[in-house]
Amino acid sequence: KSGGTERPESSFSNFRSFLSTCDLFDLKHTGNFLSWRGKRHSHLVHCRLDRAMVNSSWSDVFPNGRSHCLQLGASDHRPLVSTFDSIKKRSSRIFRYDRRLRENEDVRKLVTQVWNENQLLPVSGRISKCRHAISACSKKFHINSKELITKTKAALDSALSSSLADDNLIAQLNLRLLKAYKAEEEFWRQRSRLYSGRQKHKFFSFLHEVPQSSQ
């Protein structure tokens, strides 16, 4: 815990007894484990309200299990993601045109250049060349966009984790992150095979929760 009134050790005795009786202990974690940020009276408090716990049997079956404490953002609680195995499998990808590039003049010039440089190829070959050029450009554009989001999230997490509350900075970073997510919205929409009229995609939960950050 950081900030606020110190609690006596005796207040934790029942909880610790419960953990011991049930053979429960904290799952190995990464990140900042002070999972909650809020105010108690006039004090800014960071404390560990959320945790992933396992017993010995579970740990034997999933020795690579980890709990990842993610960055603070829209909520006053850090999301916790627990994984059973650290190995990630990547699926193959198919080409999808990034609609964010349609108004990009540099991309228009690139397509024209690639098309004209391959006049000896059949139409299908020239289209393939343009597709590869667009994919490379889209990847670079997406990397830059992801870097902006990553840096903004890191800055927001740092501001929210600080013992000195700077509400103006937090509001500015929330707004910047919201704009960045909105810019990415179309990118993820067209890539989601499960996208429907309900418009379910990875950013909507954040967009709905953003107003909570000002509370």
Give the tens place of pLDDT for each residue, 80-123.
Answer: 888 887 555 554 455 666 666 767 788 888 888 989 988 888 88
CA distances from 170 to 14, 73, 165, 174 (A): 37, 10, 8, 6
Please tell me the predicted confidence (pLDDT) of residue 204: 54
In the predicted model, residues of the chain with pLDDT beneath 50 are 91-92, 193-202, 211-215
Angle value at C-alpha 33, between 29 and 34, nearest 5 degrees: 175
Residue 197: its pLDDT value, please? 45
pTM: 0.40
**Tokens representing residue 109 in the block:** 């010039």
- pLDDT given at position 100: 66
Share of the chain above pLDDT 70, in %: 76
**For position 99, what pLDDT does the model report?**
66
Question: Number of H helices and number of E strands within the chain?
Answer: 6, 7
Q: Would you say 169 and 159 are in contact if contact means Cβ atoms under 8 Å apart?
A: yes
The radius of gyration of the chain from alpha carbons, rounded to an integer in Å, stands at 24
Which residues, including other chains, have CB under 8 Å from residue 155's CB and lie 6 or more apart? 173
Question: What pLDDT does 59 receive?
Answer: 85
